Structure 1
């Protein structure tokens, strides 16, 4: 699991910048929304998304640990690919865990990590690795 870690900020930063650096992911995250287990098939996950009118799902393993976030666009692309079978499970298409962030991470650090990884959204997990929310760029 890749956790976005915060780095200490210099104390001489400007006051506006200082206020932003003290704002945490907890202050800006959205509710977790629909969560599914990684043994779910791609087709069922797409149906869950349609039913929930959601563009993304948080995915967890059999122990309830967040393994990632999957989007409707990615699932649709997988379903439409030549290699797709109706047995494809989310764990097969997600790959390894991560990246995730902690509610206590500063917004400045989380934004930097998201831009670096070119992510539109990032799961927020507690100390045990369970999803508590999603940090998403405003559109």
Structure 2
């Protein structure tokens, strides 16, 4: 797993620039990659969120799934009620580190055309999601 790397800045710059940890949503539900798309849609509706962090059996972040992606898969001809998140989640590495500046993460997200990006600690555990405001 690769994190977006932090560039070195003078100590005074850290006070001026907020970090990803300051801006992320830490309350986004985490789901297992063997969960079905239907169950994920139910979790998403209950949590009133547009995205879920997808984790493997060890609890490490493997990607993100959005409501738009789940709806598109559910409406496709190949969909079955056994479709698993591991087969449809967007693997969008590198993930963001909570230590980089918000501006750096948002710039990377815009370059990669991402609306949301998982934030992971140094071990690969999801700690939140950074979403671009529209």
Name the TM tier (shorter chain).
0.7 to 0.9
* Residue in structure 2 matched with residue 6 of structure 1 by the alignment: 6
Contact 2:34-2:84 at 8 Å conserved across structures: yes
**Contact 2:65 / 2:90 at 8 angstroms: preserved in 1?**
no
What's 1:66 paired with? 61
Q: CA deviation at 1:77?
A: 0.3
**Preserved CA contact (<8 Å) 1:56 1:70:** yes
CA distance in 2, matches of 1:96, 1:31: 19
Cα shift readout 1:101-120 (whole Å, capped 9, x = no counterpart): 10001222111110011111
User: Deviation string for 1:54-87 (max 9, x for gaps)?
Assistant: 2111110000001111111100000100111111
Q: Distance in 1 between matches of 2:103 and 2:71?
A: 32
Change (3 A) 1:31 1:5: same
What's the CA shift for 1:2? Answer: 3.6
Q: TM-score, normalised on structure 1?
A: 0.85
Q: For 2:16 and 2:126, how far apart are their aligned partners in 1? A: 23
- Structure 1, gaps ≥5 residues long: none
Separation in structure 2 between the aligned mates of residue 31 and residue 75 of structure 1, nearest angstrom = 22
State which of 3, 11, 23 in structure 1 corresponds to 2:18: 23
CA RMSD of aligned residues (A): 2.1
How many residue pairs match? The answer is 133
Larger Rg: 1
Aligned to 1:134: 129
Partner of 1:39: 34
Unpaired segments of 5 or more residues in structure 2?
A: none
Q: CA deviation at 1:48?
A: 1.1
Q: Does 1:118 align with 2:113?
A: yes
Q: Is the 8 A contact 1:32 1:131 kept in 2?
A: no
TM-score, normalization by structure 2:
0.87
